[in-house]
Structure 1
């Protein structure tokens, strides 16, 4: 039994430590980036069925710097970290907020985007919450595993309804089965601009920062990603912001 335990522990430790080096990524000729493409303008599927967005352009730049092809792996948001830990992907670029809990199991790049949460309700109704506490006693839809899920779950009086896709959360709001949706501000504003039947009732200053997730201990790849982000801040980053966020407001 002791031998079996040692073997199991060894497998777990090996799985945690082993991850693709830059040399191995170049050898296979592609960078595997996990995302959940229902989060415009960061990542979404366009009219030509291509996964595009702010995060995807950043992923493409990292792949270009590595000299390899970019391959986007479409996964549910709550499956991204397990996939990274199991070596099914090399990076997570998915509008993922850096949190202490997540940082215990993955390594995060330097922040590349500052974000807040927002409360969205139906247009034309009297209910206009201005803070999270106003949602007490209400049914609130969120995307599973997101920061929106985390912040509303901390308030026990809120009835949280979770979905794999934030668009399903909005469908529940449209059909009056929930009272509000809580999600990232940039995504909320882009969606409300497209569907004026909803309105952003409040923005919650949560001081969030998005980071790119790398497997724990893969300092080589993490340093490379950090260098690419640092280079982007010098010029291309502003162009990406203008490209994706001004487009979302049109």
Structure 2
């Protein structure tokens, strides 16, 4: 990675860290939520099966269900603000949302800037393409155009792994990334396996399939650093609802497949 590229990646991170520092002096979001009687949750509604909107623009999906359950258990109203992959952290740090439930993969880079709850969900990061495209492994991406969502997990995962000659093409959200594949702008896409299933279901004539898995990564509820009371409450809520199966049921209903085993992340 060149020094210019490192600087380009570092500047946004430093900016976000500065924003986090400015908000650290006021760290009682849980109290604020209870006082106003409403929690503002950022959700990506272009990320099936986690977040979607129907033809009447009503949100649905496993992340939406999780947000609805959380708000109900907290005893407050739910307000959803729509985000994309790249603006999830900025929305959180600038106070446009209290928390983020948006297929938010837990990564060391993000954990430097925000806090995550215990995992409530997970995504199998994969490379997908047309059945007719001869891709079976990373080596087969050489000479191919691969679409990813800018700054998303698959982007950061694939950068150090793809062979020389691979062209990474970045888009603003999962929906645009999928359209790029369907329209032939790219040869393959890095995405969540759950999104491949949904894209294939909606476009059966395109014969979209998962080519290979890159990594299964847990997803957490994002919150600003220093929010000790909020983190304790949410971690407890996640633990209870993983144990009683409500979060697993919500995921399976939306994704059509069981939630990956996340027991290793919880105290025994």
Calculate the TM-score normalised by the size of structure 1.
Answer: 0.87
Partner of residue 66 from structure 2, selected from 58, 66, 69:
58
Contact 1:116 1:203 in 2 (8 A): no
* 1:228 corresponds to: 237
Shift of 1:51: 1.2
Separation of aligned partners in 1, 2:114 and 2:19: 18
Separation of aligned partners in 2, 1:218 and 1:110: 14
Q: Deviations over 1:177-203 (max 9, x none)?
A: 211111011111121122120422423
Shift of 1:245: 2.2
Is 2:38 aligned against 1:30? Answer: yes
* 1:105 corresponds to: 113
Separation of aligned partners in 1, 2:139 and 2:25: 42
Partner of residue 246 from structure 1, selected from 247, 253, 256:
256
Count of residues in Structure 1 that have an aligned counterpart in Structure 2:
237
Separation of aligned partners in 2, 1:142 and 1:174: 14
Partner of residue 219 from structure 2, selected from 207, 210, 213:
210
* 1:237 corresponds to: 247
Give the ranges of 4+ consecutive aligned residues of structure 1 lying more than 6 Å apart after TM superposition.
Answer: none
Shift of 1:65: 1.7
* 2:9 corresponds to: none
Contact 1:115 1:185 in 2 (8 A): yes
Determine which structure has more spread, i.e. the larger CA radius of gyration: 1
Shift of 1:48: 2.2
Separation of aligned partners in 2, 1:165 and 1:15: 27
Separation of aligned partners in 2, 1:77 and 1:121: 21
Contact 2:129 2:211 in 1 (8 A): no
For structure 2, the residue ranges without an aligned partner over 5 or more in a row are: 1-17, 258-268
Separation of aligned partners in 1, 2:233 and 2:222: 12
* 1:3 corresponds to: none
RMSD of equivalent CA atoms: 2.1
Which stretch has the larger CA shift, 135-144 or 199-208? Answer: 199-208
Calculate the TM-score normalised by the size of structure 2.
Answer: 0.81
